[in-house]
Structures are given as structure tokens and as C-alpha cells.
Structure 1
């Protein structure tokens, strides 16, 4: 029902050596998880990251990080500030809420006038 998307917060080009092919063409990307539904849009505080070598196309996992990559990662992690965790309702939610309140008010009026009985 709800779709989950990873939205890019920041991207950084790194000049560190790739542990696989030893070229200096890495890209560090930070993502934030967003959940989109028909009635709401939720921004979570979950942040993930990915380091990819642009030359060989391999993902660089933390087990293969060198001290230089880890030091640069810690520096750029402070610069990637995510959006605040929030919950926003869509227009459909407000329309449905208005219809339910209107139906409740109409039912209350009809019961008070004696037109409807249980």
C-alpha cells in the first residue's frame, strides 16, 4: 500500500583510492527513507549511505574501507544533515475527514429532530 523510497540527501565525489581497482574515482551518497501513502507522506530519520567506485562499478562495503576512506566518511557524514522526521497528511485525508465530520453532524441533527430513530 505505501511505497518506500530512498531520497538522496547529499552526494560527494571522493579522491580516495578504490580498494578493488585502485583508481581515485569514488562517490559517496547519503539517503533518507521516505514513505509515501495515499493518506500521508512520512519522512523517517533513517539515513543510509553507499560508496561506489565510478571506474569499476563496485560497491565499497565498510569491511573494505581503508583508514582514509573511514576518516573522509566521518567528515562528510557530519555535513549530510537529513530532514526532520515528520508526518504530512495528503488532501485525500482531509477530504475524507471533512466528509466523516459532515456525516456525523448530519446524523446528529436528524436524530435530534426526530426524523431518524434507532
Structure 2
């Protein structure tokens, strides 16, 4: 089973009013999803975000966004530069490929008679 992790790409402080407590201390965060499996580490192109009030610790969902919050969100969303979508093999993958290659070579060696003549 692959593990999923959200890596922080960008974080910004917003001076907009919180819809819950009307404090002007919001934090906007953008995350990119990475999956870590046994054979491969994958960087996906999936980007998520969240806005949190630092005073009341409440999540501000898009339904409660004011026009000012939405304007600031759109601005910061344009500045986010995610990592490219990629897939990298792990060390375990390379070791497994080496072991399989050696086993195939040994089987072929013994099928040919086990001796090499010059």
C-alpha cells in the first residue's frame, strides 16, 4: 500500500477578516500530493489548499469566503509553482532488478550445460 503525503508548496499570510471571529490573521497554504510506494515514489499534479484562521483555528471553506478572500486566493493560486509530475524508482526496485537479472543469467548458464568453452 502506497503512503500519501501532502508536501507544502507555498504558504501566505492573509490580512483579510476571518468570517468566524473577524480577526485579520489568516494563513493560506497550498499542498502537492506525493505517493511513496515500495517500488516507486510518485509526484502527482494534484494541488490542494486550505485557509486557516490563526486565532480561532477554524478552517475557512470556500462557501464562507468573502470577495476579498477569494481575490487574494486567486492571486496566490497563480503564483504557485508545483513540482513536475514524475515517478522515481526506489533503491528496492534497483536491487530487485539486479537479483532477477542474476537469477536469469544463472538459469541460462545451467541450461546451456554449465560450461563455457573457448
TM-score w.r.t. length of structure 2 = 0.93
Stretch of structure 1 that moved more, 105-114 or 54-63: 105-114
CA displacement 1:74-116 (0-9 Å, x = unmatched):
000011111001101111100100110111111111101268x
Determine whether 1:17 maps to 2:14. no
Determine whether 1:78 maps to 2:66. no
Aligned residue in 2 for 1:49: 49
Over 6 Å off, 4+ runs: none
Cα RMSD (Å): 1.2
Aligned residues: 115
TM-score w.r.t. length of structure 1 = 0.93
Provide the rounded CA distance (Å) in 1 between the counterparts of 2:94 and 2:78. 37
After TM superposition, list the pairs within 5 Å mapping 1:1-118 onto structure 2.
1-113=1-113
- Which runs of 5 or more structure 2 residues have no equivalent in the other structure? none
Provide the rounded CA distance (Å) in 1 between the counterparts of 2:44 and 2:65. 27
- Which runs of 5 or more structure 1 residues have no equivalent in the other structure? none
Provide the rounded CA distance (Å) in 2 between the counterparts of 1:32 and 1:40. 17
